[in-house]
Structure 1
Amino acid sequence: MPFVIDQETVTSMLNSQVVATAIDLGIDLVKMWPLQTAQELENDARYAEDLQVRFSCMMAQTLLKRSEQIEQSVAEAAYEGMDVIPGCDRDVMHALMNANQAYDVLSTYRGVNGADLFLEAARTLGIDVEDRIERGIRGVMASVARTMRDTSGFEIDDDVVEEVGLCKSVTVDRDVLARRYLASVTVGDALLNLMCYDVEDQQEQAIRALPVLLYINGLREQLAVPHTFVTAEQLGYLIDLRDSARRFGDCKPVFANSFCPQTFVATVRYLAMFAGQEWAEHASYLRWDPKKAEQEAKDEDERRSKEALAKKFNLTKDDSSDSADSDSGTADGADSEPRE
């Protein structure tokens, strides 16, 4: 199945404000790599765990078609291996377990056998992928090396990728990072177009988008681009935007070309903002200093104690003054009573 990128469309997004803002935040994060201290490594591990918990919450909410979010404490318990929580709906626990299993499957992606892992994750999430969609997915992933080369501007040998995967070193060059990020979105756009083909219900489309989000994060890791994240609500809005782009744009049929300039632009403009937010969040994890946090918490406790003491003192002082005035008024009033 054809997967031909419109290079002019991709390049046009390099200079968009939303991408430029996100890349600035991405550069702030990747400048910290490689991590230097044990604390940074510990913080990064905590971020990775929290990211999976957030993903499992989002995925379970999407799978169950819930408007309300899954409680993070429940998701944390499922991440730790619990399959039953008293008082928790079994459907929620089952969805969380499937979400974590799919996440673990695609976390093993190293640039090879991507289609097999993608389809395994989809099956884990209860998603049926028909034969011609599967052929399209395999076609897109078979050309990932070419896509990265054409879109990103760096050399990747197709034969080498088949054996060892594609793995790029960290870059602090804004242009290179932006091109790598956009390259990953071109693949994501094609996969979303295929997975959502001929599906009218937007909630079903959101479910079918889940393995795409997981795969793209795996691809970004190979390109030394940090992971991104969206909530269930943000994913729903993205699906709506993409549907609108297809309805009102001059889009080719999916089986004529799985890359669509209109949906690609809508996806980049919407998701780049959340990519930047996630990269800023990741950086804040790495910068976290437990000693500084402990001192700040102590300072805050002392500040609150002083405020409470001052408030109590003022109230006591005011009460005493009011009492004295009241006593004085009573005495004066008694002396001024007319006498018979």
Structure 2
Amino acid sequence: MAALKQLPATTAAIEVGKELTDLWPLHDHVQIDNDVKYAETFQVRITRQFAIALTGDDVTMPDAEYVYEGADEIPGRPQSLVDALLNANDAYDTSVDFSEDCDVERIVESASQLGDVWDDATVAAAREIIVAAADAGKALDVADLPGRYALGAAAFADVLALTGETADESSALKATLPAVLYFNEFDEWLGVPRVFLDLDTVKQLREIAIAGPDNDGAAKFIDVLAGPAEAEWRKHREDVLWDPAEAKKKAREEDEAKSKAALAAKFAHIKDDPSKETVEP
């Protein structure tokens, strides 16, 4: 962990992360509302990815939003897709409290809710990793954001590596899902903002984790993780600072500019008449 926190990719990510964490604690009611909305949308984005992994179907954001809002069926959509979204939301909701108490059983239960994607051996190994990482986190200074980020990444890699014995690619991808939940909730407990990871990135991180930390494997893991982390933290900060009144004003100004440009283009072919008498203002 000491080495990981010194890596250039860690330093770059933390610079972006601090721009977000420095906003807290939030006091402005608009920013607080924005942060709540961000958290809701984050869950929708994550559970959509999970449902894609669980079913192999083309799950849309409207599908995921509809189920998040309480639907247990969607007209014209396969029930298996809806069930996968329901299970994904149950697993997400179960894992959230891990960020409060680091109770490993919350992650184990989340794995079960996703369809027993972890076998008994994986569960036993994950318990050891998760408990050890929590103990390590308790020893870190609150202000040591690079160290906390490095610990979260290292623990995530360790849990992802447990999926290396999984037989086929589909099962392997499903087995990564509880690790993603764990990563985000452990980071939250550590005081590191959550990171959205698409399935392609999760696959890439899994391959690096399985290969092990030797031969620059740990550095490669940090390098791959840094991009999504920076992008998500920028998005989170922009979402929190979004001002609806300013956005409305900007949209109106853009509409007016487009209208003027369209009007100018419409009459661009009309030449000025040089014989026309000039009218003094």
Q: In the alignment, which of 95, 103, 111 is matched to residue 106 of structure 1?
A: 95
Q: 1:113: how far off?
A: 5.9
Q: In the alignment, which of 196, 206, 213 is matched to residue 229 of structure 1?
A: 196
**For the Cα contact (< 8 Å) 2:118–2:175, is it kept in 1?**
no
Q: When the two structures are superposed, what TM-score results if normalisation uses the length of structure 1?
A: 0.74
> In the aligned structure 1, how far is the partner of 2:135 from the partner of 2:66?
41
Provide the residue aligned with 1:287 in structure 2: 241
Q: In the alignment, which of 176, 188, 191 is matched to residue 156 of structure 2?
A: 188
> In the aligned structure 2, how far is the partner of 1:56 from the partner of 1:139?
26
Aligned amino acid, residue 119 of structure 1 = V
Provide the residue aligned with 1:202 in structure 2: 169
Aligned amino acid, residue 122 of structure 2 = I
The 1:190–1:276 alpha-carbon spacing in structure 2 relative to 1, beyond 3 Å, is same
**For the Cα contact (< 8 Å) 1:19–1:273, is it kept in 2?**
no
The 1:112–1:32 alpha-carbon spacing in structure 2 relative to 1, beyond 3 Å, is closer
Per-residue CA deviation, residues 7-54 of structure 1 (Å, 9 max, x unaligned), is: xxx222222222111111000001100012000000000100110010
Provide the residue aligned with 1:51 in structure 2: 42
The secondary structure found in structure 1 opposite 2:204 is helix
The secondary structure found in structure 2 opposite 1:11 is coil
Q: Cα RMSD between the aligned structures?
A: 2.3
1:1-340 correspondence to structure 2 within 5 Å: 10-66=1-57, 68=58, 70-112=59-101, 114-149=103-138, 152=140, 154=141, 171=143, 176-194=144-162, 196-243=163-210, 245-246=211-212, 263-315=217-269, 317=270
Q: When the two structures are superposed, what TM-score results if normalisation uses the length of structure 2?
A: 0.89
The 1:202–1:267 alpha-carbon spacing in structure 2 relative to 1, beyond 3 Å, is farther
Larger Rg: 1 or 2? 1
> In the aligned structure 1, how far is the partner of 2:217 from the partner of 2:136?
17
Per-residue CA deviation, residues 223-277 of structure 1 (Å, 9 max, x unaligned), is: 111111111222222233334x34xx86xxxxxxxxxx86543322211221111
Aligned amino acid, residue 166 of structure 2 = V
**For the Cα contact (< 8 Å) 2:91–2:110, is it kept in 1?**
yes
The 1:44–1:238 alpha-carbon spacing in structure 2 relative to 1, beyond 3 Å, is same
What 5-or-longer segments of structure 2 have no aligned partner?
A: 274-281
Aligned amino acid, residue 77 of structure 1 = Y
**For the Cα contact (< 8 Å) 2:157–2:209, is it kept in 1?**
no
